[in-house]
Amino acid sequence: MTLDLWLPYFFACWVIALSPGNGAVISMNHGLNYGLRQTSITILGLQAGLLLIMALAMAGVGTLLLASEMAFSTVKWIGAGYLFYIGWQQWRQASRQPQAESSAAGDKQILGARQRFLYGFLTNATNPKGIVFMVAVLPQFIDPNAPQLNQFICMALTMTTVDLIVMHGYALLAAHLQRWFKSSAAQKIQQRFFGGVLMVAGIGVLCFKRSANGIT
């Protein structure tokens, strides 16, 4: 990948990563609940999902999803259902918390490392908007006369490195707010907020439609 192609792509990666999305919500949510170190597992899951949708876009599967209404709708409903499910789980968890006597640590639903990784992976892997976005963006930075695999490796490393930095930034910001969410009441507000955001994001995925050229 030539420098004149890589530099604008590098800039585009920062714009994409910094744009608030489902990954940022998950990173901040886990940053508040688990701290920065444990949220790193969630963020690695996000990157695995990101690599998958990049690979699908490069392999042409993303274009197939755009061409097939059934395939696109299937991915869209799976992604929306997943986001709504985890949002609803958080909302219900907040509703089940005792008002006063229980400790903040006891109120939390602790996710293991494998669960946090899967949480992050599915968040990106089931995002149809991410797939469409990659189909639209990646070809603009590909040299058709150069080896495709080498370019994909360079683009994937650049994108995931930038996203790792940004998502850790979101998680770090949230982790610094942990001391304000130690009480049961504060945790209930936090869980309902992020649960509500995730459910709204799920509804937003359902509203996502293809345009004639595959870009919304």
Residue 215 forms part of a structural domain: no
Residue 7 forms part of a structural domain: no
Residue 141 forms part of a structural domain: yes
The CA-atom distances, in angstroms, between 72 and each of 26, 131, 175 are 24, 10, 36
Residue 3 forms part of a structural domain: no
Q: How many domains does the chain have?
A: 1
What tens digit of pLDDT does each residue of 76-135 get? 677 677 667 767 776 776 555 544 334 444 445 577 889 899 989 988 888 776 777 777
Q: What is the residue-averaged pLDDT of the chain?
A: 75
Residue 168 has pLDDT above 80, yes or no: yes
Residue type, 173: L
pTM: 0.72
What tens digit of pLDDT does each residue of 195-214 get? 776 677 667 666 656 554 44
User: Percent of the chain beyond pLDDT 90?
Assistant: 17
Which tokens belong to 111? Answer: 């996710």
Q: What would you report as the CA-atom Rg of the chain, rounded to the nearest whole angstrom?
A: 19
Residue 200 forms part of a structural domain: yes
Residue 63 has pLDDT above 70, yes or no: no
pLDDT at 212: 44
Residue 180 forms part of a structural domain: yes
Query: Which residues lie below 8 Å from residue 120, measured CB to CB, with a gap of 6+?
Result: 23, 26, 41, 42, 43, 44, 45, 46, 47, 48, 49
Contact 64, 140 (CB under 8 A): no
16 versus 117: which is more confidently predicted? 117
* Domain housing 181: 22-207
Our measurement of the distance from residue 171's CA atom to the centroid of its chain's CA atoms, rounded to an integer in Å, reads: 13
